[in-house]
Chain A
Amino acid sequence: MSLDAPGRGRGKPAAGPGNLEVSLHHLASEIPLVHEALDELAGRHGLPARCVARLHLALEEHLANIIAHGGKPGPAGSITVRFALEPAALRVEIEDDAVPFNPLEAPAVNTALPLEEKPLGGLGIHLIRKSVDELEYRRAGNRNVLVMKNRLTAR
């Protein structure tokens, strides 16, 4: 568990080479820190590219949502992302102090609508759902915790 201030700009190993933790503020400019940490972990363990790319996308969407709609823009808010490599999956836990929000309860997007009627909003959560194998949400005290898990299969 890290007691460090967020936004330090680097990931650090938590409890072994398969774990990595990154903290950031509610600033879009700090989202790349999380992508860098995932790249580092993926490189270190030779993780399958497709599994990793889908997690990059899901993280981008979730972090962008927290920062844009979480109600704590800027350096006041904090987000912690923890990566944990399991025997057959990569688990990512995203904990934030934004307003309570369960992405699993967001309404589904109808992708079959004709172009003119297609909504331009709601796509981010749709992409998260489609990009991760397992998704869990819980509210822990005053923080949101979302767990994403992708199996380490090449396809």
Chain B
Amino acid sequence: MEITKIIERDNWELMVPGRIDGAAANQLEVEVLAAIRAGAKEIFINLSQAEWICSAGIRVLLQYHRQMKTNGKSLLVTRPSPGISEILEMTGFKNVIVEEARPGGAR
């Protein structure tokens, strides 16, 4: 699995495609930590091309969502695919972690 990065100043978008299994969750954590170290103020995890996400992946999202929020920054999921949406809904995290659609936004 290859995570694609789009960086605009301190705004990072990480596109995570396919199946987010345990190994992919570790990979995602490495990329999120790199973004934080590089001074990202907003991190968007684009899950439009992701098929499913395991609990280890959800823990990465939640952990760094909390950490960023505590530091006055943000980490949010954008454009979750139907499969991802359903899983986040199952865990009760969907409303917390998914960015509200921005009217006219490209994201």
Contacts and interface: CB of A to CB of B under 8 A. Distances in A.
B66 interface: yes
Contact of A60 (B21, B66, B83): B21
B77 to A, nearest CB: 14
Interface size class of A (residues with CB under 8 A): 20 to 34
A123 B52 contact: no
Given A53-B83, A115-B66, A118-B62, A64 B54 contact: yes
B93 A118 contact: yes
A142 interface: no
B91 A126 contact: yes
A87 to B, nearest CB: 26
A61 B55 CA distance: 7
Q: SS class of chain B's interface: helix, strand, loop or mixed?
A: helix
Contact of B22 (A64, A115, A118): A64
Contact of B59 (A31, A50, A113, A123): A123
Interface in B15-70: 19, 21-23, 51-52, 54-56, 58-59, 62-63, 66
Interface string A50-89: 1001101100110010000000000000000000000000
B87 interface: yes
B7 interface: no
B53 to A, nearest CB: 8
A111 interface: yes
A112 interface: yes
A35 interface: yes
A121 B68 CA distance: 20
Contacts of A57: 52, 54, 87
A64 B59 contact: no
A120 interface: yes
Interface of A: 28-29, 31-32, 35, 50, 53-54, 56-57, 60-61, 64, 109, 111-113, 115-116, 118, 120, 123-124, 126-127, 130-131
16 contacts: A28-B22, A32-B23, A50-B83, A53-B51, A53-B83, A56-B51, A57-B87, A64-B56, A111-B91, A111-B92, A111-B93, A115-B66, A120-B62, A123-B58, A123-B59, A127-B54
